[in-house]
Structure 1
Amino acid sequence: MTDAERKIIAAQGYVELGLYEEAREELSPLPAAMHERVDVIEIMLLCLMGRQQWAGALALATKLCQQEPAEPGGYIHAAFCLHELGKTTEAVDVLSRGPASLRTKPVFYYNMGCYHARLGHFDQSLSYLERAFEMDGDLRQHAKKDRDLDALRVRLEAQHA
């Protein structure tokens, strides 16, 4: 294992622990060319998201979408950043235009449900959320605390009482 590979693995571990500054410190000495690698971009993206630096994170998520247009991760992250920046309509557009592989991910349906709820499209939101819950029942617990779903709280609880 090279020193660079060790630094990338360490940075991934730091991100999993929520130690974003430590992760960035691991990656900073890497040669510039290595900062263009998808795994390094994703780590840096997660660091920015963890620190709620949405504009910078969006730039890296957009880069991921360009480098790996068939992979869902960049689109999910880009949409989330847009939503956090108050551009929820654009977030829906990004997910809608993403690759077909997005539709295999419960988080696609969950996030679309959240975004539509925030936009006031409650029936659409409930439809997306129901699909997300069918794919991953654990998301139902997460939904109980999600502020994006506050306007739907009573309807969500009534569906599963």
Structure 2
Amino acid sequence: MNEERCLAAAEGYLQLEMPVEAVLEIERLPVNVRQGVHSSELELAAQMMQKHWNRGAELASLLCALKPSKRAYFLHAAYCLHETGDTLAAKSFLMSGPKSLMKDALFHYNMACYCAVLGDVEEASRHLIPALELDPALRKIALSDEDLKGITF
């Protein structure tokens, strides 16, 4: 089996928005390769495309353990947890990420969403302000985000 061919095929399937086929390619890989960072990233993307939030949270958590300084993994893990309905765990997981997350607009945006869903409107507003300052394009998304209903900005 050609591992590079399987990984390239999985990437291609993801670009074509064919996550089921991408996962099938990844599953053909030997276990040690499948559990590596690159394979796990590809499978995470496929699972999130399919809205398989539990498996996504599992993979993102694994990636966080493998690369604890990579902010995106924490954002993905928390988002998947939130989508499973465990918003408290999502907030806690995101807060456990690297300090560099504090400079990330999506960190603040997602924290605003999680706080709003949990009923802490004041904390949600405190996070939404820097999110919109760091990335003004998020304002348009925030206006229609169900999680942020009732938050004034």
TM over 0.5: same fold?
Answer: yes
Question: Which segments of 5 or more consecutive residues in structure 2 lack a partner in the other structure?
Answer: none
1:101-160 per-residue CA deviation (whole Å, 9 max, x = no partner) reads: 2223211111001111111111211121111111111111111221111232xx23xxxx
1:129 is aligned to 128
Residues 8-47 of structure 1: matches in 2 within 5 Å? Answer: 8-47=7-46
User: Does structure 2 retain, via aligned residues, the 8 Å contact 1:71–1:101?
Assistant: no
Unaligned runs of 5+ in 1: 157-161
Alignment of 1:102-117 (within 5 A): 102-117=101-116
- Residues 74-111 of structure 1: CA deviation (Å, up to 9, x unaligned): 21111111111211111111111111122232111110
User: What corresponds to 2:137 in structure 1?
Assistant: 138
Contact 2:53 2:80 in 1 (8 A): yes
- State the identity as a percent: 37
1:31 Cα deviation (Å)? 2.0
* Runs ≥4 residues deviating over 3 A: none
Q: Displacement of 1:3 after TM fit?
A: 4.3
Q: Is the 8 A contact 1:114 1:149 kept in 2?
A: yes
Structure 1 CA distance for aligned equivalents of residues 48 and 32 of structure 2: 23
TM-score (norm 1): 0.85
Q: 1:94, 1:5 → 2: CA distance? A: 33
| Cα deviation 1:23-44 (Å, max 9, x = unaligned) | 1133222222211211210111
RMSD between aligned alpha carbons?
1.8
Equivalent AA in structure 1 for residue 30 of structure 2: P
Once the two structures are TM-superposed, the CA of residue 22 in structure 1 deviates from its matched residue by 2.1
Residues 20-29 or 75-84, more deviating: 20-29
Partner of 1:7: 6
Which segment drifts farther, 141-150 or 22-31?
A: 22-31
Q: Is the 8 A contact 2:13 2:19 kept in 1?
A: yes
TM-score by length of 2: 0.89
AA partner of residue 147 (structure 2): D
Contact in 2 for aligned 1:72/1:102 (Cα 8 Å): yes
